[in-house]
Amino acid sequence: MSNLKELRNKLKNPVVKGSLIYTLAGLINSLIPFLLLPILTDYLSPEQYGILSTFMVLVSVFMLLVGIEQQGYISVNFFKKSKFELSKDIFNSLTISFLIFVILSILSILFSDLLEDIVKIDYEWILFALMIAFFQFVTQMNLTIWQLKELPAYFGLYQIGYSLINYGVSLVLIIMLSMGESGRIYGIAIAACIFGILSIFILIKNRHLTPSFNIKSVMLSLRFCVPLIPHGLAGWVNTGLDKVLINNFVSVSENGIYSISYQFAMVIGLIASSFNRAFVPFLYKKLNEKNPDNNKILVKYTYLYFLILTILTFLIYFLTPVIMRVFISDDYQDANKYVFWIMMGFLADGFYYGVVNYIYYKKKTYYLSLITFFVAIIHFLLSWILIPRLGSIAASYATAIGYIISFVLVWIVSNRIYPMPWLAPFKIILKKIRF
């Protein structure tokens, strides 16, 4: 009975409860594309899947450029400003992003031939990727507010609804209208527009969006966010650049096969980001209390998270070959050779989530820019040198190495900026062993 009572008490803990809901929503969102892989790999050739993968790479980099990590600025100020003041900051953030979207759209049209030659897809899809990036940023802003208000149920349901519309429309266009990869892209665009517009209405309804353009607020936001752009782009190098290089040095078809392996490895990333969404509000609250005992609690939660994530990673890795044989078309079976190294990279990236938020809290984001820029150079050089020589497998090596270096450096810097008792649990274990 005491164990059952203890379990109930743990489930009532906001971090545990929130993490479970975020993880469940994340798993459902990852399960939907998983279940659709047999259909997508049957209806799309590796080359078509490679085009689709490249398109998603563009969406991710445009998300960084359009959004310029402004969710981080809103998150840090959520508990420091009044709701009214924060609502004006959110309006200014959306205004900045819209202006960036317009500028990038004009530049994409002017340099369309060059972009097509680099990414190997038509420039019309590049414009679609920009539009999707803007609307997804608006949706992410709404989700960030729910996360900070500790409303994981709203967050999860909204994400699941987005995925259902996204993939539902895509399947109709791919299967019934035989539109190939174009059908998938249109499905993504329709879902992004619907939920982006809906997010604006929700922000207005909940009084989180007050029209009030303020140049001082804009400058404060840019001062926080601009140093994070290299950091975000460096993160994109770890996930996106390899696919562009595979397109150029190997083939678009091989990029399609390589991208299937990412679908499996990304489950680790989803679990890690789900924990982070639940943990960040709890972390900032504990740090704001300025209680040294809270630091021990935070370290304990972080190491427990490291252990659970490691176990889950290897469990998923050992199950992957079986799942691939059942779920994936024969044309894509070579994807299995990439999985281990990509999963090791995502595991290290998951550890990164456990230590990076102290840097955000102290607003020392320029350290992240320096670290990630350094790691991006290493990753780029490894990929550029090794992919032409070893083939696409080198991309998975570079991914793992890049994420591991990033985690180690961020942990070292994080502890210098905000010292935490990371060695305390090991000291306790050593004392118990001695006695």
**257-281, pLDDT tens digit by residue?**
999 988 888 888 878 887 887 788 7
Range of the domain at 394: 227-427
Q: Is residue 32 part of a domain?
A: no
Report the pLDDT value the prediction gives residue 131, as an integer from 0 to 100. Answer: 96
Top-confidence residue, 216 or 332: 332
Q: Look up residue 13 and give its DSSP letter.
A: S
Top-confidence residue, 231 or 32: 32
Report the pLDDT value the prediction gives residue 187, as an integer from 0 to 100. Answer: 96
Kindly state whether residues 196 and 243 are assigned to the same domain.
no
pLDDT of residue 254 exceeding 50: yes
Tell me how many domains the chain contains.
Answer: 2
Give the torsion through C-alpha atoms of 291, 296, 297, 298, to 10 deg. Answer: 90
Report the pLDDT value the prediction gives residue 194, as an integer from 0 to 100. Answer: 96
Average pLDDT over residues 158-167: 91
Extract the tokens encoding 296: 């021990």
Kindly state whether residues 180 and 297 are assigned to the same domain.
no
Kindly state whether residues 261 and 301 are assigned to the same domain.
yes
Kindly state whether residues 141 and 276 are assigned to the same domain.
no
In this prediction the pTM is 0.77
Nearest of 56, 375, 33 to residue 240 by alpha carbon: 56
Report the pLDDT value the prediction gives residue 430, as an integer from 0 to 100. Answer: 59
Kindly state whether residues 287 and 319 are assigned to the same domain.
yes
Half-sphere exposure of 275 (CA within 13 A, CB side): 22
Q: Is residue 28 part of a domain?
A: no
Top-confidence residue, 366 or 45: 45
Kindly state whether residues 208 and 354 are assigned to the same domain.
no
pLDDT of residue 13 exceeding 70: no
Q: How far apart are CA 65 and CA 130, in angstroms?
A: 10
Kindly state whether residues 198 and 312 are assigned to the same domain.
no
**226 in helix, strand or coil?**
coil
pLDDT of residue 434 exceeding 70: no
pLDDT of residue 435 exceeding 70: no
Kindly state whether residues 266 and 170 are assigned to the same domain.
no
Q: How far apart are CA 231 and CA 365, in angstroms?
A: 9
Angle, CA 205 vertex, CA 199 and CA 209 arms, to 5°: 70
Domain end among 224, 247, 268: 224
Angle between helices 180-205 and 46-67 (to 10 degrees): 30
**54-109, pLDDT tens digit by residue?**
999 999 899 988 888 787 777 777 777 777 877 888 888 888 889 999 999 999 99
Instruction: Show Cβ contacts of residue 425 under 8 Å, excluding neighbours closer than 6 positions.
Output: 299, 300, 303
> Average pLDDT, whole number, for the chain?
85
* Distances 416 to 77, 167, 370, 412 between C-alpha atoms, Å: 23, 45, 15, 7
**375-423, pLDDT tens digit by residue?**
889 999 999 999 999 999 999 999 999 999 999 999 999 999 988 888 8
**184-213, pLDDT tens digit by residue?**
999 999 999 999 999 999 999 988 888 877
349 CB-contact burial (10 Å; exposed 0-12 / middle 13-18 / buried 19+): buried
Q: Is residue 385 part of a domain?
A: yes
pLDDT of residue 1 exceeding 60: no
421: amino acid identity, one letter: P
pLDDT of residue 7 exceeding 50: no
Highest mean pLDDT pick, 17-21, 62-66, 292-296: 62-66
Give residue 251's region: left, alpha or beta (phi > 0; psi -120 to 50).
beta
Nearest of 299, 233, 329, 392 to residue 40 by alpha carbon: 329
Kindly state whether residues 238 and 207 are assigned to the same domain.
no
**301-360, pLDDT tens digit by residue?**
889 999 999 999 999 999 999 988 887 888 888 889 999 999 999 999 999 999 998 888
Q: Look up residue 177 and give its DSSP letter.
A: S
Kindly state whether residues 70 and 197 are assigned to the same domain.
yes
Kindly state whether residues 219 and 231 are assigned to the same domain.
no
Report the pLDDT value the prediction gives residue 428, as an integer from 0 to 100. Answer: 66
Whether 98 contacts 134, CB under 8 Å: yes
pLDDT of residue 123 exceeding 90: no
Q: Is residue 322 part of a domain?
A: yes
